[in-house]
């Protein structure tokens, strides 16, 4: 993927994008010399130039034939002839490529308010930036993109003062009526301070995705719903709505696919049938999002697995769950857990020189006492003779914390996902014990993915983790507590061994487990399910006749 950002500044946007998609080839053009130098340290190639200067004779780098994404972040309003620049650049755009532009709205209500008073402020930034050469409204933006043969896919509004815009519209309503203007349309045009536009050469069919999540808890929403669906929503044509409270059933054009995803629902025959009927009758494809052994929950068994039988499809995190779920619903797809971005590393973290500094060992899990009990005696024996080599960071599990025979330990009760990741990022080693049983075999390798992203070396049980860890290369797979202690001692004496595993594991995540790598596959599956909606609804009603229309 090749991105060209016109007006890239110091490269901050491109740097963030490359943390999400490290394989992207990110190019930048910047007028100012100092920001261009900074951008050159972050992006793949940066030109310091005026895009409207004919003498520049700008050419794409060798090997780059087309651009997949053209980015104009608050740039077009500074150009003498934005249409001409767009027209030239669109020639490089690939057939499936997109143009993304952020453009201020001169119809913004504060502009009108100032004009009514005879004012036109001259500011250094913002809507009244004195260096703006061109001004746009929503309709003139549409005309601009249409003039260069681009189809607008999405038109998002940034409305920072919506309540004030409503009050301003209410004050003007008598005048608007006299002029034959609709107050609702006036508000729609004057509330946005900026528009974010996505456009392409070809028409992109829209799709609407809504997600009903659990109440926020220990990162489950972020990993399984928020991060992956926001990544999908970055693709052209996708509209997304997420909620932990309730979701409104949308009345959209029949040609627009509507997908609803329910996270870890415990559906019952007593309470869920009316909801399911409404969703099905509203024309949605309903997907159950579930990432644990379904046989572990008595409520699922008691209701004959309605959470999976009473929906069109099921999405899970592992292939073992696919095999388990297909007994209840043949439409099952696994999407492995990923990171939304490759985190920035703290360069000083691995500067460890015992005995003045120690390996920080992380353990963060819920309800895992039966899994770690067999490891603990060996860990404590190690600490009795080598306490100065280690310190422990424990999250969630207070019993694990109190079982450690060391004073060099810290405990954090169950916390939000941001705090969890912060504590993990400051650690060097992560412990991942899992006994070999049916419930654990359906767990995902998320803890290894998270630790690896932050360059934390993993010591893990064979269950689940043997599939992704190559011992001695990107972590260690251990069969018993004795081996855990041996590896900890080896890494404590020579932290560079742990560091090598951690960096190899991070590179594995970079290549295999970032959200963008599966977003297109997710979207294609959702679209394919909707194309088969009549067929899937018929099969659903055969599984659960109680949902049939009366």
Three-class secondary structure of residue 181 per DSSP: coil
Encoded tokens for 397: 């599990």
Instruction: Tell me how far apart the alpha carbons of residues 138 and 156 are, in angstroms, rounded to a whole number.
Output: 11
For CA atoms 319, 475, 515, 368, the dihedral sign is positive
Instruction: Tell me how far apart the alpha carbons of residues 311 and 541 are, in angstroms, rounded to a whole number.
Output: 9
> What does 485-523 look like in DSSP terms, one character per residue?
HHHHHHHHH-HHHHHHHHHHHHHHHHHH-BTHHHHHHHH
For CA atoms 322, 324, 330, 332, the dihedral sign is negative
What residues contact residue 446 under an 8 Å CB cut-off, 6+ apart? 223, 317, 337
According to the model, what pLDDT value does residue 31 have?
93
Q: Do 195 and 108 form a contact (C-beta atoms < 8 A)?
A: no
Closest CA to 491 of 295, 314, 350: 350
Confirm whether 207-339+518-547 and 359-512 share one CATH topology. Answer: yes
Domain boundaries, the chain: 2-200, 207-339+518-547, 359-512
Closest CA to 260 of 248, 273, 245, 274: 248
Q: Could you say which architecture CATH assigns to the domain 2-200? A: 3-Layer(aba) Sandwich (3.40)
Strand ranges across the sheet with 151-158: 45-48, 25-30, 2-6, 67-73, 93-104, 194-200, 151-158
According to the model, what pLDDT value does residue 534 have?
95
What residues contact residue 445 under an 8 Å CB cut-off, 6+ apart? 336, 337, 464, 465, 467, 468
Closest CA to 375 of 438, 434, 304, 440: 434
Domain 359-512: which topology? Answer: Rossmann fold (3.40.50)
Instruction: Tell me how far apart the alpha carbons of residues 300 and 296 are, in angstroms, rounded to a whole number.
Output: 8
Q: In this structure, what DSSP letter does residue 460 have?
A: E
Look up the CATH superfamily of 207-339+518-547: Glycogen Phosphorylase B; (3.40.50.2000)
Per-10-residue mean pLDDT for the chain, 550 residues long?
95 94 94 95 94 83 91 95 95 94 96 94 90 94 96 93 94 93 95 96 93 80 93 93 88 89 93 93 96 92 95 97 96 96 88 82 92 97 94 95 96 92 96 95 96 97 96 96 97 95 97 96 97 96 90
Which residue is it, tokens 């508000």? 187
Closest CA to 149 of 195, 202, 196: 202
Three-class secondary structure of residue 359 per DSSP: strand
Three-class secondary structure of residue 230 per DSSP: helix
Q: What angle do CA 48, 52, 54 make, to 5 degrees?
A: 95
């Amino acid at each position: 993927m090749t991105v060209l950002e016109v007006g890239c500044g110091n490269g901050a946007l491109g740097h963030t994008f490359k943390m999400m998609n490290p394989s992207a080839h990110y190019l930048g053009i910047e007028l100012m010399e100092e920001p261009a130098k900074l951008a050159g340290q972050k992006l793949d190639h940066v030109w310091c130039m005026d895009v409207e200067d004919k003498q520049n004779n700008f050419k794409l780098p060798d090997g780059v034939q087309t651009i997949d994404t053209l980015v104009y972040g608050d740039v077009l309003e500074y150009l003498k002839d934005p249409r001409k620049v767009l027209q030239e650049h669109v020639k490089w755009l690939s057939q499936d490529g997109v143009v993304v532009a952020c453009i201020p709205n001169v119809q913004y209500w504060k502009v009108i308010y100032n004009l009514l008073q005879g004012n036109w402020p001259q500011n250094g930034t913002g809507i009244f930036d004195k260096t703006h050469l061109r001004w746009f409204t929503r309709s003139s933006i549409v005309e601009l993109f249409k003039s260069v043969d681009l189809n607008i896919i999405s038109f998002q509004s940034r409305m920072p003062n919506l309540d004030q815009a409503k009050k301003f519209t209410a004050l003007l309503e008598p005048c608007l009526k006299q002029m034959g203007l609709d107050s609702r349309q006036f508000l729609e045009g004057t509330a946005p301070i900026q528009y974010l536009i996505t456009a392409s050469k070809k028409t992109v069919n829209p799709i609407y995705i809504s997600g009903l999540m659990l109440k926020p808890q220990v990162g489950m929403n972020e990993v399984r719903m928020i991060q992956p669906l926001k990544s999908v929503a970055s693709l052209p044509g996708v509209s997304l709505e997420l909620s932990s409270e309730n979701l409104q059933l949308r009345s959209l054009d029949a040609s627009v696919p509507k997908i609803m995803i329910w996270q870890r629902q415990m559906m019952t025959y007593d309470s869920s049938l009316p909801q399911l009927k409404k969703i099905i009758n509203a024309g949605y494809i309903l997907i159950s999002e579930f990432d644990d052994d379904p046989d572990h929950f008595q409520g699922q068994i008691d209701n004959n697995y309605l959470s999976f039988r009473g929906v069109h499809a099921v999405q899970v995190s592992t292939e073992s769950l696919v095999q388990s779920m297909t007994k209840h619903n043949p439409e099952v797809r696994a999407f492995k857990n990923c990171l939304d971005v490759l985190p920035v590393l703290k360069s000083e973290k691995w500067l460890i020189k015992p005995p003045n500094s120690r390996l920080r060992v992380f353990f963060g899990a819920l309800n895992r006492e039966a899994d770690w009990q067999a490891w603990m005696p060996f860990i404590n024996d190690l600490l009795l003779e080598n306490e100065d080599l280690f310190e422990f960071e424990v999250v969630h599990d207070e019993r694990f914390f109190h079982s450690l025979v060391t004073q060099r330990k810290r405990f954090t009760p169950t916390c939000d996902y941001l705090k969890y990741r912060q504590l993990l990022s400051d650690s060097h080693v992560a412990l991942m014990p899992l006994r070999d049983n049916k419930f654990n075999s359906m767990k995902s390798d998320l803890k290894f993915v998270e630790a690896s992203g932050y360059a934390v070396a993993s010591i893990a049980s064979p269950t689940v983790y043997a599939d992704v860890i190559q011992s001695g290369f990107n972590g260690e797979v251990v069969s018993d507590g004795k081996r855990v202690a041996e590896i900890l001692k080896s890494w404590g004496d020579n932290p560079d061994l742990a560091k090598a595993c951690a960096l190899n594991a991070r590179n594995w995540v970079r290549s295999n487990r970032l959200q963008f790598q599966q977003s297109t596959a997710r979207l294609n599956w959702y679209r394919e399910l909707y194309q088969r909606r009549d067929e899937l609804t018929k099969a659903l009603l055969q599984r659960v006749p109680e949902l049939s229309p009366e």
